[in-house]
Amino acid sequence: MDVDRRVAQHYRHGNLRASIEAGLHQLGKSSEKVTIEDLAPVDEFHIGGRSASKHFLDQLNLTQDMSILDVGCGLGGAARYAAENYKAHVTGVDLTPEYIDAGQALCEWVGLSGRVSLHEENALSMTFENARFDSAYMMHVGMNIEDKRRLFSEIHRVLSPGALFGIYDIMQAGSGDLNYPVPWATSAATSWLADAEEYKQHLENAGFVIVGEEDRRDFALQFFEKAQKANDVNGGPPSLGLHILMQHTTAEKIANMIGNIESGRIAPHEIIARKT
């Protein structure tokens, strides 16, 4: 199986849309009466969920009617948030067909299909014309992509001059093998971590200048601690949560992720770059 198929296979659920609908029903909601806030616990597949998206996207100077690219959009939670919050037009691309199918349904449920479109595409070879977008971002995707040089060149190609590109990825922070499985990979076979210096070097080689960066390790550990406390108080995870995406391996993946961060091997990190 080629790499793209292995990555998509890792994220494949089998019955995702119905599982999200079942979670909604448990909350007393339905697809006709759902908001992007209701969906945030399940459709933001990165450390810190919606609050991480707000912190990250606020740095991109997004404004009304901008055309924005979400690279590796998953179910499109951040894309819908950006469309609603900044009144922008957001295009998402992702390798995993089931995420695109379910994500499009979620856009219809919340009435955002006119401003958010999601497409099954590989970020390494997108079909968009040069300079198509005013800004782009990528959240927790680079860990699945070995060829970051090509990835950033491709994103640079589809951005207009002066556009900002934000990355919020899990990056290598120290030495030592990771404990697997983790949320983005079952084993090292589909995991390609790089440290922040490597990211910045690839970005600069592709034609970006770095305008900001922030280590989000402390934020991540506080987020996990709060989530664990809430689970303890409530006797388990909420009806809608990332356990729906990760299914029976959720506890193991989260425990490994926390252990890998606590031991200093990885950390979530933001980088903001500008196309020159």
Ligand X SMILES: C[S@@+](CC[C@H](N)C(=O)[O-])C[C@H]1O[C@@H](n2cnc3c(N)ncnc32)[C@H](O)[C@@H]1O
Site residues for ligand X per CB under 6 A: 7-8, 11, 44-46, 72-74, 77-78, 93-96, 99, 122-124, 139-141, 144-145, 183-184
Helix or strand run (H / E) with residue 91:
strand 89-94
* DSSP-assigned states of every residue in 236-249: S--SSSTHHHHGGG
Least distance in Å: CB of 98 to ligand X?
9
Residue nearer to ligand X on the CB measure, 89 or 92:
92
Residues ≥6 apart with Cβ < 8 Å to 12: 96, 98
Residue nearer to ligand X on the CB measure, 110 or 123:
123
Least distance in Å: CB of 100 to ligand X?
9
Angle, alpha carbons 97-100-46 (nearest 5°): 105
Residue nearer to ligand X on the CB measure, 189 or 229:
189
Least distance in Å: CB of 43 to ligand X?
7
CB < 8 Å & 24+ apart, contacts of 114-117? 115/83, 115/87, 115/88, 115/89, 115/90, 116/76, 116/79, 116/80, 116/83, 116/89, 116/90, 116/91, 116/92, 117/90, 117/91, 117/92
Least distance in Å: CB of 73 to ligand X?
6
Residue nearer to ligand X on the CB measure, 37 or 276:
37
CA dihedral 85, 121, 150, 129 (to 10 degrees): -70
Residue nearer to ligand X on the CB measure, 29 or 166:
166
Q: By beta-carbon distance, which residue lies closest to ligand X?
A: 74
Residue nearer to ligand X on the CB measure, 124 or 258:
124
Least distance in Å: CB of 93 to ligand X?
6
Least distance in Å: CB of 233 to ligand X?
26
267 has which bridge partners?
Answer: 171
Structure tokens, 82: 């950006």
